[in-house]
Structure 1
């Protein structure tokens, strides 16, 4: 455990801990085991950002577990909050729930509605859910670039927001588990370039819908890990995530795209690499044909382009190219990711995605944020 904690500290990650909801005492959650862990965590000065209990509780009946109804879960989360209040180190930690599957699934939407009706919004700091687009057991290559598949996330957001509004709950969303395909992902798909279309679109949609944190499933493990279980090398999604973390931060802007197969998002650019006021546009071209992106407002500006394309143009490629150059680890260090300087329109390859930074966009919203 301490080796894991040290790794997390080294990586600069926050910890969110999930307790076992099936530890019961009568009809209530039994916190005995949780207290043992909390005592251990205090002893070793382990900072923990948030806590929750249970995992996809709405799916328990179908998975052969006991039924824990929404009202009971609200009561259990109150028990958790009361336990945390006795630990000065964790009394301000966030309580998260209800940890349901995607909202456009009937069992999840019904559970969320019941949870909020029972007072869940007053117990949790953020409303949490999981999302996968497709089944890892039956996934097809064409689903990774299918507009209808990508749109199912927006449908989930609409459903979730409507339920929240119905119960006058104005908490933020947090996506605490997500990837391309459930069931560990699909070998040869979830670990290849094609998975990036679903991943980048999810990050853009989450930004537009005010999701505070997106927890990627997984860093390592399964076919959807950011590191390959085959050779422990970074997958294309790792490099996509790396660029997103390096380039994107802060407020989101609404962008109008002229075509359904060209999806475009925009945030402030991360300060450090760029000055306050810079913006980053990220795009995915689902069409086979290339296109040109004309950022009309910044047509005369020089832009930093980070174009990610698959090796040999193969959507099933294990390796990804940045502006035409293969990305490879340098020993145990990540490779440099220099941009391509472009004036005027940006040429976008078919079936590709990437980022365009406008360093001198001079956006006041971004200046104020930083």
Structure 2
């Protein structure tokens, strides 16, 4: 009986090896013929983890921009605003539900011009109107409470965790590039009280959008911002009195400026739970060199100084606040069609997720879930763009503990590793920025024990190898939403663990190694 079991186990691994060889080579064989192959080593340092992320690290944004928001002659927002988004669309609902949960940050440039239409609001509840004489190009606009009710009904159905960005300009006077005076909190407090009365779950209240440092449009001093965030903390403490789980207080939601952030962190003390910043490191959406930058490893490395700078400020201060990326679209002014909504953007996006996690960033909010040319979902159809599937795979596979990872063999491979999520072992993410070279990568560990369980691999490639494609292939199969609006299953290839991980040209690979045992993950 024992010898029969051994023979059956041996036969099983032979079948797995053959199927994995056939599967991997079906993806890389014919389409990679004529391409150079190089060998590489992924070294994972397993003694201890180097950072942590939230279990719901992946976050996406919804914005306020009306259809009249245009950039470079293109109006790409359609009906993607919080005020007009189709909340009854099945694909939208299923896309959010697939994360269980997805953090959604509600905010953006116009949040600092939003009036909340509560009963005691001092102003009429009217929509945003184009106006070139106004800061940000629009008049004030209003969020009616019936729309806030509709949004919360959707968030509850979808299982979303909501971060709401409050208007931080209320009550201030604009003077030569600066917003001066204290924050008038009355309308925001009325809105927060309404939200609590209705039992709407808010995971965090964020204060302001891009008002730190030199600001975008205008700015608020760090000293004033710290005073105002203390006022917001007091309001939340009062309104949520007796409620066990209180929301996070988040600020400043703008571009990293070392001196401003240092002063804000020092002066805000315990008032702030999360220090959030924005990333648009690729340049303007109209720029013709976006793809060159995305595929240039030295350019991608450039933003590491932002992550490390904020990490150092938080580590060397008395605060317990954590770092978040509160908004990241890569290319500002709504992105670039067939770049920021196409397959090529996953190289930038996944590299951002991996790099930010290395520097102890707890949450990363992508601009946007829907809207502009950088949505995870198509603005008009809600069909997932390639980055949606990249985000979903990360969310399902990459656990909270971040591992120190090095790659040897070529500078065109970006490598990240985490303890696996909701399972044993580790998950490795490999990005091949080279358009003509396959990489055969062996995994090596310090402080580990490994077994012989099949490795699970997820290879993402562009349809027809076209970086501008908005269609993603997973292990050689097109990912498409069903006629009923269901998100497709994301099934792995099972590969003999003795085989190298083959990373084809311009492809992305998640590899889950289930039976590696390292101290960092135990």
TM-score by length of 1: 0.90
What SS does the aligned partner of 1:47 have?
coil
2:167 to 15, 20, 26: 20
For the Cα contact (< 8 Å) 2:215–2:254, is it kept in 1? no
Counterparts in 2 of 1:250 and 1:113: CA distance versus 1, 3 Å: closer
Aligned Cα RMSD in Å? 2.1
What SS does the aligned partner of 1:142 have?
helix
* Cα shift at 1:61: 5.4
Q: Distance in 2 between matches of 1:157 and 1:147?
A: 16
Give deviations 1:123-157, integer Å, cap 9, x for gaps.
21121111122122315221221112211221211
1:147 to 297, 302, 314: 297
1:292 to 440, 450, 464: 440
Q: Distance in 1 between matches of 2:457 and 2:407?
A: 18
1:256 to 400, 406, 419: 406
Counterparts in 2 of 1:139 and 1:54: CA distance versus 1, 3 Å: farther
2:252 to 70, 73, 98: 98
| 2:512 matches 1:362 | no
* Cα shift at 1:15: 1.2
Aligned to 2:193: 39
Give deviations 1:166-209, integer Å, cap 9, x for gaps.
65555321111112212111111000000000111111112211
Aligned to 1:229: 379
For the Cα contact (< 8 Å) 1:128–1:173, is it kept in 2? yes
| 2:455 matches 1:303 | yes
Aligned to 1:122: 270
For the Cα contact (< 8 Å) 1:282–1:356, is it kept in 2? yes
Aligned to 2:465: 313
Counterparts in 2 of 1:19 and 1:62: CA distance versus 1, 3 Å: closer
Q: Distance in 2 between matches of 1:17 and 1:231?
A: 25
Aligned to 1:113: 262
2:360 to 210, 215, 218: 210
Aligned to 2:476: 324
Give deviations 1:256-288, integer Å, cap 9, x for gaps.
1113211111112221xxx3x221111101122
For the Cα contact (< 8 Å) 1:282–1:354, is it kept in 2? yes
Q: Distance in 1 between matches of 2:444 and 2:298?
A: 28
Counterparts in 2 of 1:121 and 1:209: CA distance versus 1, 3 Å: farther
For the Cα contact (< 8 Å) 1:85–1:91, is it kept in 2? no
Q: Distance in 1 between matches of 2:504 and 2:310?
A: 35
| 2:423 matches 1:269 | no
Larger RCO (alpha carbons 8 Å, 6+ apart)? 2
Give deviations 1:41-65, integer Å, cap 9, x for gaps.
12210111111211111366551x3
* Cα shift at 1:250: 1.9
Q: Distance in 1 between matches of 2:308 and 2:269?
A: 18
* Cα shift at 1:317: 0.9
Could you list the runs of 5+ residues in structure 2 that have no partner in the other structure?
1-147, 174-180
Q: Which moved more, 1:21-30 or 1:217-226?
A: 21-30
| Structural mapping, 1:60-209, within 5 Å | 62-63=216-217, 65=218, 67-87=219-239, 88=241, 89=243, 92-101=246-255, 103=256, 108-117=257-266, 119-135=267-283, 136-140=285-289, 141-165=291-315, 167=317, 169=319, 171-209=321-359
For the Cα contact (< 8 Å) 2:328–2:367, is it kept in 1? yes
| Structural mapping, 1:1-16, within 5 Å | 1-16=148-163
Q: Distance in 2 between matches of 1:205 and 1:181?
A: 18
For the Cα contact (< 8 Å) 1:16–1:48, is it kept in 2? yes
For the Cα contact (< 8 Å) 1:249–1:268, is it kept in 2? yes
* Cα shift at 1:217: 1.1
What SS does the aligned partner of 2:194 have?
helix
Counterparts in 2 of 1:50 and 1:323: CA distance versus 1, 3 Å: same
TM-score by length of 2: 0.65
> Of the two, which has the highest radius of gyration?
2
For the Cα contact (< 8 Å) 1:305–1:340, is it kept in 2? yes
Aligned length: 355
What SS does the aligned partner of 1:306 have?
strand
Counterparts in 2 of 1:232 and 1:62: CA distance versus 1, 3 Å: closer
Q: Distance in 2 between matches of 1:58 and 1:256?
A: 35
Could you list the runs of 5+ residues in structure 1 that have no partner in the other structure?
none
Counterparts in 2 of 1:121 and 1:293: CA distance versus 1, 3 Å: farther
Give deviations 1:225-282, integer Å, cap 9, x for gaps.
01112533110001111111121222111111113211111112221xxx3x221111
